[in-house]
Amino acid sequence: MYSPKISEDLVPQLYRRAKDRKIPMTRLVDGMIRTALATNNLPENKSNETPLSFYIRESEPPRVA
């Protein structure tokens, strides 16, 4: 399973927000992503050099054992 890395500078901010809400940071991030996807509130990718494109990659082909 693909597990994206969160930028190091975001971790403390997310940690504090999750602590304030008394929920795990993973649940906070999951909820933020789900809300952004459901409302289509995502950054626009206007060029191939945006930070967003750095983190998006094509699905990996299944591994053959």
Measured CA to CA, the distance from residue 50 to residue 35 in angstroms comes to 22
pTM for this prediction = 0.60
Report DSSP state, residue 2. -
Query: pLDDT at position 61, please?
Result: 54
Rg of the chain in Å (alpha carbons): 15
What tens digit of pLDDT does each residue of 24-59 get? 999 999 999 899 888 887 777 665 545 544 444 444
Which sequence spans correspond to the domains of the chain?
8-33
Buried b (16+ CB within 10 A) or exposed e, 2-35: eeeeeeeeeeeebeeebeeeeeebeebeeeeeee
Query: pLDDT at position 40, please?
Result: 85
